[in-house]
Chains A and B, each alone.
Chain A
Amino acid sequence: MTALMLKNVWKEYGDQIVLENLSFDVAPRSFVALVGPSGCGKSTLLRLLLGQEEVTRGTILLDGVALPQEPGPDRGVVYQKYSVFPHLTVLGNVMLGPELQSERIWGRLFGAARRDLREASHQMIAEVGLAGSEDKYPAQLSGGMQQRLALAQALMMKPRVLLLDEPFGALDPGIRTDIHHLMKRLWNELPMTVVMVTHDLREAFTLGTRVVALGRTRTLPEEAERYGASVTKDIEIWPPRKAGGHTIFQSEFAMGWDDLTLHAATAGRPETKTET
């Protein structure tokens, strides 16, 4: 049983071969980190998985079925930027997916259905640590908060595969660590397979269950066009990480350690002692 199966995948743009005979399987619930030098086709591969572009040759199977040729709700995505909609509030962004899915004419829900969705959205927003920011617009959020919002928005669709395209690349180190914790928890709790493109090796090894490196094996200038990238390293993380399973390496984090609102509420407050 595999979540994703790539069989002899080629991607060419005209004469330029980008991906060359790529084959690998992704087990369900795994967290694959795709790494490699710039321009080696990591993002191209992600676009293929997303259905934004078609393979030139070969097949990609999702749960044993050929991948649809356009993006759909079974595959969520978070980009480095432009992942959230600037004209919607945090709540509006999170509610958007289910609204579009259940109301096909105007994409808006009313009445009881809307109340239920609002309730669920509030929970999701709290889940990613954005409680209290429901009525803000993305432009009013920091980069890290925008990425949390993008995750929440994508996860509302309960995607089987979550695709991440250098999602945390633009964040500063402290914020990035926080969001790594969040990402790990979400992956543990939700039934999804994650494929993440990154060029931060540390990030790849911190989050992934498996690190796949793409690269060109032929590097002579005259070979650049006619030879694409393929898998050069495929590393299973040891000790194995299992989604949902807690290893000794995760026990250092107590519940709520990545909750921004909890941090904000407790920051700078003296021990619970009230003066009278």
Chain B
Amino acid sequence: MRLINQQLSPPVATALKFAPFVLLILVYLLGSAARLAENPNDKLLPALSSIAAAVDLMAFTPDRRTGDYLLWSDTWSSLKRLSAGLGISTVLALMIGIGVGTLPFLRALLVPFVNFISMVPPLALLPILFISLGLGETSKIALIVIGVAPIMIRDLAQTVLALPREQIVKAETLSASSWLIAVRIVLPQVMPRLLSSLRLQLGPAFLFLIAAEAISADSGLGYRIFLVRRYLSMDVIFPYVAWITFLAASADFAIDRLRRRLFPWSELEGGR
């Protein structure tokens, strides 16, 4: 039988789903045990017990200097920056994307410009942002917006332009104005795509967040990782990375759920 026609029984499928995760943990544990057996002070692959101790210290013990629980205060400040950046990008994408997609005037005015801007490497702009906007929150949020918004705008404009011309003409025969076509025909139909686009941009958004925090911040997940790097504190870095991954994965999952919930028809149309 050809491999492409293989039918997996449910238990096998489940086992395969978890296998890579288990394997990863296993490899880590073996590596860690081997290194610690050679040198009990090894910092590269700390034992689970020292990771647990570090998690306890970061998440459940107040910091001696500030009295904050560091993991939570870091998470809070990072998520604030991330959601501000993604929120602004989403609103921009929605307004410019729909405007560009529906109105020939805006299309001629903005499409070449947005396409050009989206090619600027955002990290190369970071020094400019720090110099012009200062080292505070504004420059970090601006970096996320500059990195994420142009791609989302292009994606959304494409989605609007891909709507069949027939639909727009049909709406006109139903007496819709340009504005009504935008709010009742175009907007609801591109919302699912906007959410999918947002999901795809979670990764880049985290990248820009951590890059900005690594260079200048006084709290945040990226700031903490780069701070403890100086002490080779892998026992702190590993749980932080796992936590960031978990946050991104849950956001991804939650947004997809939201899309199905709010726009049940988009699932029928093949997840558009």
- Does the CB pair B177–A77 fall under 8 Å? no
Within 8 A of B (CB), among A55-75: 70-73, 75
Proximity string of chain A (99-137) to chain B, C-beta cutoff 8 Å, 1 when within and 0 when not: 011001011100000000000000000000000000001
B interface size (C-beta, 8 A)? 24
A124 to chain B, nearest CB (A): 13
Q: What chain A residues lie within 8 Å of B166 (beta carbons)?
A: 79, 81-83
Given contacts A73-B175, A79-B170, A157-B175, is CB(A107)–CB(B164) below 8 Å? no
- Does the CB pair B183–A97 fall under 8 Å? no
- By a beta-carbon cutoff of 8 Å, the part of chain B in contact with chain A is 164, 166-167, 169-177, 180, 183-185, 188-189, 263-266, 268-269
Closest residue on chain A to residue B164 by CB atoms: A82
Closest residue on chain B to residue A79 by CB atoms: B166
- Does the CB pair B180–A86 fall under 8 Å? no
- Does the CB pair A73–B265 fall under 8 Å? no
Which of B169, B174, B183 has a CB less than 8 Å from the CB of A101?
B174
Q: What chain A residues lie within 8 Å of B169 (beta carbons)?
A: 50, 52, 71, 77
Proximity string of chain A (150-171) to chain B, C-beta cutoff 8 Å, 1 when within and 0 when not: 0001100101000000000000
- Does the CB pair B184–A72 fall under 8 Å? no
In order of increasing CB-CB distance, the 5 nearest A-B pairs are: A139-B268, A97-B174, A71-B172, A82-B164, A82-B166
A99 to chain B, nearest CB (A): 8
- Does the CB pair B173–A86 fall under 8 Å? no
Q: What chain B residues lie within 8 Å of A52 (beta carbons)?
A: 169
Q: What chain B residues lie within 8 Å of A154 (beta carbons)?
A: 170, 173
Complex Cα gap A100–B188 (Å): 15
A-B contact count (CB 8 A): 79
Chain A binding site: helix, strand, loop or mixed by DSSP? loop
Which of B173, B177, B266 has a CB less than 8 Å from the CB of A50?
B173
Q: What chain A residues lie within 8 Å of B265 (beta carbons)?
A: 86-88, 137, 139
Q: Let me know if A85 is at the binding interface, CB within 8 A.
A: yes
A83-B170, A88-B265 known, 18 other contacts, Cβ within 8 Å: A50-B173, A71-B173, A72-B175, A73-B173, A73-B175, A82-B167, A85-B167, A86-B268, A96-B174, A96-B184, A100-B176, A100-B180, A107-B180, A108-B184, A137-B268, A139-B265, A153-B170, A153-B174
Q: Let me know if A41 is at the binding interface, CB within 8 A.
A: no
- Does the CB pair A76–B268 fall under 8 Å? no
